[in-house]
Homo-oligomer: A and B are copies of this chain.
Amino acid sequence: MSADELRSLEQVCTFRRFADHEQIIDRQSNTTDVFLVVEGRVRVVNYSLSGKEITLEDLEAGAHFGELSALDSQPRSASVMALENCLVASLPQDRFLQVISQRADIAYRLLRSLAKIVRSSTDPIMDLSTLAANNRVQADLLRQAQTGLVGTNQAEIRPIPVHGDIASRVSTTRETVARVLSDLARQNIVERKKDVLLIKDLAQLREMVEEVRGD
C-alpha cells in the first residue's frame, strides 16, 4: 500500500496496550473489528465448558486476527489473549470491508492468508485423529525445533516451553508432557539445560513420530 493510504488507515485505527494474560477478544462477543499485532505476541484460545483451555494458535507481531467476524459479522469464534505486553491496533469493520472491496490485491492477500489458515487447520485434526498423546508431544517439539536449528541434527528451543503450554496445544496434560520429556532425556534425545531445551538427535525424534504415523 502507498504511504498515504497507510497513514490514513492508521488514523482510523485505535491503538491499545494489553498486559500479560489480558483478554483482547472474548469468544461469543459481538465486536467486529480487525486487529493487528504491532508489538508482542498473542494467543488464540478456546475453552471447553469444563474450563479446559485449548490453544489454537500463537501469533507474532505483524499478524492480524479477528478477520472472521469482520467478514461475516458473526460472533467471535475464539478468544484471544496477550502473551506478554502487547501493542494492538484495531480497525473498524466498515473501513476494513471498504479496503478489501476497493483493493483487489489486498483482498487477494487476505484470501491467501485464509487459505493458509485452512490448510494449517487440518494438521491438528490429523494429528489428533491419528497420533497418540505422547506422539503429539513429540510432534510439537519437532515443530518448535524448526525455528532453532543448530547444525543438521540438533536444535535448541528457547525459552524452555512451559509444560502446561505444550499440553494445551496438543490437548493432553501437563503430566504427560513431563513424562514424555523425561523419557526423551533418558534416551539422550533431548537435554534440559539452564535456559534452553536442547534437542540432541532430531532424526531420531522425527523417526519416533513418523513411525507411529505409518504403523
Binding site for B on A (CB under 8 A): 46, 48-50, 52, 54, 56, 67-68, 71-72, 74, 77-78, 97, 100-102, 104-105, 107-108, 110-112, 114-119, 121-122, 124-126, 128-130, 171, 210, 213-215
Question: B129 touching A213 by the CB < 8 A rule?
Answer: no
Given contacts A100-B108, A128-B171, whether A118 and B117 have CB atoms under 8 Å apart is: yes
Q: Which one of B97, B112, B122 lies within 8 Å of A46 (CB-CB)?
A: B122
Shortest C-beta distance, A159 to chain B (Å), equals 25
Question: A49 touching B115 by the CB < 8 A rule?
Answer: no
Chain B residues closer than 8 Å to A121, beta-carbon distance: 118, 121-122, 125
Provide the bound-state CA to CA distance between A54 and B126, in Å.
8
Q: Return the chain B residue nearest A131 by Cβ.
A: B48
- 6 closest cross-chain pairs (CB), A and B: A49-B214, A129-B171, A48-B130, A128-B128, A121-B121, A114-B114
Provide the bound-state CA to CA distance between A171 and B52, in Å.
21
Chain B residues closer than 8 Å to A125, beta-carbon distance: 54, 56, 121, 124-125, 128
Question: A129 touching B52 by the CB < 8 A rule?
Answer: yes
Q: Return the chain B residue nearest A73 by Cβ.
A: B112
